[in-house]
Structure 1
């Protein structure tokens, strides 16, 4: 045995003794870094006792991608500066890491993750009313009419006026802003934005200053025309209607070179408030913006959401919003408000997962059918987008009748009176007397063991309900003979009180 080990054994044990004596010094100088030179010449026993650090150093490339122990990660990084190939390896690993991070960011940016506040804020910003879309869709016909009239007036160098009207939220102001951009781009050298260089006299109003400007033959901007856009024209209606009349009369001045575009909600404003413009042949061209249809609302919502690289809404949810808003008013601002409210419902669900069951119940109630429970994958996929139940709750909050709020804020006895009226009018009656209403009221109070009020106090409460527009109370010498008529829909009363168990029993 001694003949087999020879000098190799003494060298090995000598190195190991050196490790033990210098162990504390090496920990202080280089933490965890141990380099040993062990020379073994074909001895199997010595090969088994070789340290792993020596095996790592002897390998042609020290790769940290396959670590055998936690210290294996540290050794290549600390020794890499001493190897000739260290810079190439570090650059290659950094390139791989940067490519991986970029691909990961791209995948994350293309996927809607509601837990990230940046993405939620981006969706809200896209759906905000103040956000101007790059393209104004579904109003090309109206824009074309106004743009052609303005171009014709500029080419003929004459004044003209347009009155743009329509219901609120139909894109009037947005379309006229787009027309202004197109018109200024078409005739940049002809049109100029009016900005008076001199301070206007305090005695003159801006309208009077324009009248004086167009009454003079020589003007500082005589070769250029002026575009005047007056939004919310309804606020200029006065008792004598002089402001509106003088404003549209600017186009009749001998040296007038202005294009006037007035925007308001009233469709017949020009006929009612400007009757004297017709004989003077200066009646403005009327362009009417009709309410948006279901397809138009859906197209506008999709156009806005196309600016995002991910899908935040289910198609069925957007269609439900478009149908409801189109049937109610066709107001695009209302549709944007509903979508933002649906996003907030998704945020509430993510903060409180227990409310998910309530949303599922709402969805089943709206659909009117029982559906199979969703799988784990589909449930995880659906929670990342705005679903139909989110949109349904947002629609309910937005289009909630003010009558419902009034009924829910009433005292209990007045609510019982309304319940009595609903039960009474279910029999086909259109009106009744206070005395008969008192009989139904007494029956409900006795059934739920609530002390009832007298006929005089009941009549006084009916008078209060009449003042709020819920009941119509007739005139009579005796209180019990006064006629009572229900002024609101029975469905509103049932909807307002259906959440209270007490009134559910009363209405059965």
Structure 2
């Protein structure tokens, strides 16, 4: 078979390429052999020079990619003060803990119905203390859980517990459906009235002496169930007080005056709940809680103590200066004693210190290379341009504190400011609308009630048509939050709708706010 001229040319080209590849391969092998042969004749590297080069390489790499440990302490510190963190233990509140523990023992573990009303300002540890007591009681009684429980040898009854935030229901009567949904048996029961009214279903579960299950219902933000006739609250409290009841009710609320509105009728029916009030935290309590969390940054042998039993010396506080912690505690205690606010300040102060640390340590230039093998004293440390040796850059929990008084003072200005303008600008849009509504009402009448504010607010927002008004329950919550800031005062009354609402700022400040925000201007300057 004869090949064409083009095919012969292709074969020649491939053969030439293969010959070139083989020659290059042989050259590579000869070069490696020459390197190996010449190695014994080279001057061996000294151990100190080798160590110096290794440290220089690691130092350069560390500057390009800072080790995680440099920033981990700040991240761990900020994580300690997140609001969602569940601490391993709660400090203080010993009297409140005793009352809650005694109630749990006398009713839940003893298989007896009852009701407890827990009140206190926001951030005083009501829900956290209840959760902590519940966890401890679960150890005492293994049958305490949410659903599907078995009897124990110590307590011959099942315990079915649920926790409901009343802010999650759109209207107070919807709480019946929520309770039934959480507590009804998962398996189909022949005697459960599936087609009956939701109140009948709830009574079948909670008012049945033949059942060996005790239902523990915790209603957080229970003041959201307040209605004009308060029928929902009366019925739930009465269920927990009847002889045939299988209900233990624990209500938690921020409102201090709810018991004054509900208790008279409950006392007349012998359905009065046990009361427990949480006072605001003091500076000493806030400081102790912050320090306890900071000490957990230390090594495992120091996590649960701040002193060494052998040396009897106090361990230094990690990350924050003790005087900075004291300043934070005093500022928060002087305002409202809200522990959550103290945690926010600590988190912001650590964030500020972290940014400064990055600027001064992580982003600085690489150290001067060590070329002299005689610089043995500088092998294991960084150097600066002046030739002086400095310590390692890595930040540990035992290093001097990084968060100082200056950081706390800088981040605490947001809560200690006395300027009405700053307070108004920090409000949400709905809160600003309520403030403007109150200012408008004050120009019409000397006294304004909750009902007046609700009517005026709803008519103003609906007339604009840009956004829907909030519900009455949400409006009451907004007004209560504004009171916490100090911009208005709510005077108690037997009915919530008749409570007087007094504005604590001048109309001129509100008018300036309206002029600065276009949406408010469209609402109130039509």
Q: In 2, distance between residues paired with 1:146 and 1:287? A: 8
8 Å contact 1:191–1:227 — kept in the other structure? no
**Could you tell me which residue of structure 1 aligns to residue 214 of structure 2?**
225
**Offset of residue 328 of structure 1:** 0.8
Question: How is 1:490-505 mapped onto 2 (pairs within 5 angstroms)?
Answer: none
Equivalent residue for 1:86? none
Aligned match for 2:267, one of 271, 274, 278: 278
Counterpart-to-counterpart distance in 2, 1:253 and 1:230: 19
Q: CA deviation at 1:32?
A: 2.9
Question: Which structure 1 residue ranges, 5 or more long, are not aligned?
Answer: 1-22, 37-49, 57-62, 74-96, 354-375, 410-468, 471-485, 489-508
Measure how far apart 1:158 and its partner are: 2.2
Q: 1:25–1:326: structure 2 CA closer, same or farther, 3 Å change rule?
A: closer
- What is the TM-score when the length of structure 2 is the normalising length? 0.51
**Do residues 51 (structure 1) and 68 (structure 2) align?**
no
Superposed, which structure 2 residues align to 1:446-465 within 5 Å?
Answer: none
Secondary structure of the structure 1 residue equivalent to 2:88: coil
Pair 28,343 (structure 1): closer, same or farther in 2 beyond 3 Å: same
Partner of 2:448: none
Are the structure 2 counterparts of residues 238 and 68 from structure 1 closer, same or farther at C-alpha, using a change threshold of 3 Å? Answer: closer
Distance 1:28 1:274 in 2: 98
Q: Find out whether 1:213 has 2:205 as its counterpart.
A: yes
Equivalent residue runs for 1:156-175 within 5 Å = 156-175=110-129
- Structure 2 residue 241 is the aligned partner of structure 1 residue 241: no
Contact conserved, 2:77 with 2:297, CA < 8 A, in 1?
Answer: yes
Unaligned runs of 5+ in 2: 1-25, 144-151, 162-182, 300-317, 361-388, 427-485, 488-503, 507-526
Query: Contact between 1:167 and 1:290, CA under 8 Å: does it hold in 2?
Result: yes
**How many angstroms does 1:276 deviate by?**
1.4
Alignment equivalent of 1:192, drawn from 159, 176, 188: 159
Alpha carbons of 1:70 and 1:122: their partners in 2 closer, same or farther (altered >3 Å)? closer
2:330 to 319, 323, 347: 323
**Partner SS, residue 265 of structure 2:** helix
Give the Cα–Cα distance (whole angstroms) in 1 for the partners of residues 322 and 75 of structure 2: 20
How many residue pairs are counted as aligned between the two chains?
Answer: 308
Q: How far apart, CA to CA, are the structure 2 residues paired with 1:405 and 1:115? A: 39
Kindly indicate whether structure 1 or structure 2 has the higher relative contact order, using CA contacts under 8 Å at least 6 residues apart. Answer: 2
- Matches of 1:214 and 1:152, distance apart in 2: 18
Q: Which has the higher helix share?
A: 1
- Structure 2 residue aligned with 1:405: 422
- Judging changes above 3 Å, is the alpha-carbon distance between structure 1 residues 276 and 344 closer, same or farther for their aligned structure 2 residues? same
Could you tell me how far apart the structure 2 residues matched to 1:52 and 1:69 are? Answer: 19
Residue 313 of structure 1 aligns to a residue whose secondary structure is coil
Q: How does 1:349-428 map to 2 (within 5 A)?
A: 349-350=356-357, 385-401=402-418, 403-405=420-422
For residues 162 and 395 of structure 1, what CA distance do their matches in structure 2 show? Answer: 36
Secondary structure class of the residue paired with 2:35 = coil
Q: Shift in Å at residue 308 of structure 1?
A: 1.1
Q: Which moved more, 1:292-301 or 1:279-288?
A: 279-288
Partner of 1:43: none
What is the Cα deviation at residue 155 of structure 1? 5.8
Q: C-alpha displacement at 1:201, in angstroms? A: 4.5
CA distance in 2, matches of 1:70, 1:32: 25
- Structure 2 counterparts to residues 5-44 of structure 1, below 5 A: 28-30=31-33, 32-34=35-37
The Cα of 1:67 is off from its aligned counterpart by 4.9
Tell me which moved more, 260-269 or 301-310: 301-310
Q: Does the 8 Å contact 1:114/1:384 carry over to 2?
A: no
Does structure 1 conserve the Cα–Cα contact (< 8 Å) formed by 2:124 and 2:337?
yes
- What SS class does the counterpart of residue 36 from structure 2 fall into? coil
Per-residue displacement from partner, 1:225-246 (whole Å, max 9, x unpaired)? 2211111111111121011111
Is 2:319–2:400's contact at 8 Å kept on the other side of the alignment? Answer: no
Q: What is the CA distance between 1:173 and its match in structure 2?
A: 0.3
Superposition RMSD in Å: 4.1
Identify the match of residue 342 of structure 1 among 349, 364, 373: 349
Q: Distance in 2 between the 1:70 and 1:296 partners?
A: 52
